[in-house]
Amino acid sequence: MCRSIVLVRQSLLLLAMGLLLTGCSTIKRTGRVISSVAEGTVWVIKGTYTLTAGTTKLIYHIGKFTFQVVRAPLDWPLMQEDIQTIDGLPVKEAIRQGRVKNAPYTLKGKRYVPMTVAKAQTYRESGLASWYGEETRRQKGGHMTANGEVFNPQALTAAHKYLPLPTNVKVTNLENGRSIIVRVNDRGPFPSQHNQKSGQRIIDVSRAAAIRLGFHKKGIARVRVETITLQEAT
């Protein structure tokens, strides 16, 4: 088995590495997900996640939440087209080389430095959330996230300026108590031309995630975001 896909006692952050690997045999594992900062909450992976050599899909489950990861064609446009470089490289080249996870990136001349994987494991923050991607439902063709995945507004995904890509986090709407798990696979939210304060929001979630959290119509909500980590079941 290829050493780079050994998942024993690794964070769920490593799951998406499979999108960049070829020539390795099928892998199936079960596991349990433990929140590193929540009040002792244990998230159980029901069933298995599977990666098959030569495919571009990865499916895994965290409790009742299902995540399907699909690698996007490199000629698809980015969701965040204003990103100029990642790790000092043209964006698509960085994605092709797999140099994205917590690499510094520039957007409109400003340099952003994501947190380390170690720091991300204890990340917890409260602030405003918004949702994005509505325009993709009305456009032909697909869009790519900042780590090279297909953007799907119907999936439970999110964008964050500083978390490593990908990271699974628990998002709780502090206004109604609803909580879900989302996969952070994109960068944002950033200041917009019409609203500079939008860059102060801590997370952008997908349309489906906003609906599940109960703020789709309102547009924004105060939330708590906290990472969860993967540990192999014994």
Q: Are 112 and 162 in contact (CB under 8 A)?
A: yes
Name the nearest CA neighbour of 58 among 1, 102, 106, 5.
5
User: Would you place residue 138 in the very low, low, confident or very high pLDDT band (cuts 50, 70, 90)?
Assistant: low
* 169 vs 121: CA distance, rounded Å: 10
For residue 77, say if its preceding peptide bond is cis, omega within 30 degrees of 0: no
The amino acid at 199: G
pLDDT band at residue 64 using 50, 70 and 90 as cut-offs: confident
| Lowest mean pLDDT across 21-30, 120-129, 177-186 | 21-30
Threshold 0.75, pTM exceeds: yes
Q: State pLDDT tens for residues 47-59.
A: 455 555 555 678 8
Q: What is the mean pLDDT of residues 1-23?
A: 36
Task: Say if residue 114 is preceded by a cis peptide, omega within 30 of 0.
Answer: no
Q: Which amino acid is at 71?
A: R
For residue 79, what are its two tokens? 């969701």
- Taken in order of first residue, the domains within the chain and their CATH numbers are 3-70 (no CATH), 83-232 (2.40.40.10)
DSSP letters, the chain, are --GGG--TT--GGGGGGGGG--S---EEE-EEEEESSSSS-EEEPPS-EEE-TT--EEEEEETTEEEEEEBPPTTSPBSSTTEEEETTEEHHHHHHHT--TT--EEETTEEE-PPPHHHHTT-EEEEEEEE--GGGGGSSS--B-TTSBBP-TTSSEEE-SSS-SSEEEEEEETTT--EEEEEEEE------SS-GGGGG-SEEE-HHHHHHHT-TTT-EEEEEEEEEEEEE--
Q: What is the pLDDT of residue 23?
A: 32
pLDDT class of 139 with cuts at 50, 70, 90: low
